[in-house]
Structure 1
Amino acid sequence: MGVKQAEMVKSKLFRFTLNEVRSRHCFLERRGLYQTPDKKGQTLIVNPKLNSILTVDQDTFLAQVAKASAEEYDVFQRLMAREWQAEEHQENFEAVSDDDEEEKDEENEGKKAYMRRKKK
């Protein structure tokens, strides 16, 4: 998000779940209302303050910050939930594939070592 640590503490960021923060941040980002600052902390647009993103109720957030309807936000949340599940599934699949490859490598190494010992 490109937010400084002091602003995170003032806005009580850590009282919110990761899904709430991700959902609101991604919603604004995909609507073009939030831009992650570059390494120098500069953006082409003026980003809303973290307080106005997190500490306000959903109706205020949608009306004043996101300028969207509740229906749009609901649809977005459902799509994001699917997207996050797909990412998790892909990560789990890759982790299992990596483990299988490591096990096969270990088995082959063990067989090679056994064969070497046997030949001697």
Structure 2
Amino acid sequence: MYPDLLQHRPSKLRDTLLQYKAITIGKENVLQLIQRYPVLYLVPPRKIKKRLALLNTIFAPAELRPLIRNNPNILCDDWQDVSDKMMYIHTEMGLEQPQISASQALQKSLMHIKTRHLFLSRAGLYVKPNLLRDKMSYRRNPSLSDITDTSNRFFANKVAKLSEEEYKVFSEMIREELDASQSDSDDSEDEEHHADV
């Protein structure tokens, strides 16, 4: 499934695997994770170390292991994309690290996360929790896993209690809405640039 792995010399492969074995996430080492997700082998060990150090500043050790097990892609995805998704979940959905690490949301696109959240929000089925006032307020909403990790049919019928067709129509509307707002912001940047010149 990963032909790029065949291009590495056996001696280089062995050295790299030993480096992975030395990198730990709690009691596990990265080598155990790579056995489940071989595509991570293509990420240099120093990059994984750097990314883990960065994630350690955001997530507690108890949250880091499930986060990486549920979202191994965060070790190799573009950091800006990962960061944008985490910020959206935190600032717009009002969720914290434990809820993020318990889901596979960071494997999804930002558009997927936004669309699911806005569908529930505009239907009156999601209210941003105030975790400073009430630590359990997030439980009044569907879990992040139910929102992001489910099929369109399950999400529409079981989570939102609406039809899959309604969700599909809403998805198209949101895509057009976000595209229009993106082109408006691009136009205003162009106008500012011309005004400066």
Tell me whether the two structures share a fold, i.e. TM-score over 0.5. Answer: yes
How far apart, CA to CA, are the structure 1 residues paired with 2:181 and 2:149? 28
3-state DSSP of counterpart to 1:19: helix
- Which residue is 2:129 aligned to? 37
Task: Describe the superposition over 1:41-61 as per-residue Cα deviations: whole angstroms up to 9, x where unpaired.
Answer: 556x91111111111222111
Task: Describe the superposition over 1:11-60 as per-residue Cα deviations: whole angstroms up to 9, x where unpaired.
Answer: 022100111111100000000000112473556x9111111111122211
Q: How does 1:42-81 map to 2 (within 5 A)?
A: 46-81=140-175
Farther off after superposition, 77-86 or 30-39? 30-39
Contact 1:53–1:61, Cα closer than 8 Å, also in 2:
yes
Unaligned runs of 5+ in 1: 104-120
Farther off after superposition, 92-101 or 32-41? 32-41
**What CA RMSD, in Å, does the superposition of the two structures yield over aligned residues?**
1.9
3-state DSSP of counterpart to 1:67: coil
Question: What amino acid maps onto 1:30 in structure 2?
Answer: R
Distance 1:41 1:102, change over 3 A: farther
How far apart, CA to CA, are the structure 2 residues paired with 1:63 and 1:26? 16
TM-score, normalisation: structure 1: 0.78
Percent of paired sites with the same residue:
29
Contact 1:11–1:55, Cα closer than 8 Å, also in 2:
yes
Question: What amino acid maps onto 1:34 in structure 2?
Answer: Y
Q: How does 1:66-105 map to 2 (within 5 A)?
A: 66-103=160-197
- Which residue is 2:100 aligned to? 8
Distance 1:16 1:89, change over 3 A: same
How far apart, CA to CA, are the structure 2 residues paired with 1:75 and 1:90? 23
Distance 1:39 1:100, change over 3 A: farther
Distance 1:16 1:92, change over 3 A: same
Q: Which 4+ runs in 1 deviate beyond 6 A?
A: none
How far apart, CA to CA, are the structure 2 residues paired with 1:48 and 1:56? 12
How far apart, CA to CA, are the structure 1 residues paired with 2:99 and 2:117? 15
3-state DSSP of counterpart to 1:36: coil
TM-score, normalisation: structure 2: 0.49
What is the number of equivalent residue pairs in this alignment?
Answer: 103
Larger Rg: 1
Distance 1:38 1:6, change over 3 A: closer
Task: Describe the superposition over 1:39-96 as per-residue Cα deviations: whole angstroms up to 9, x where unpaired.
Answer: 73556x9111111111122211111111111111111011111101110111001100
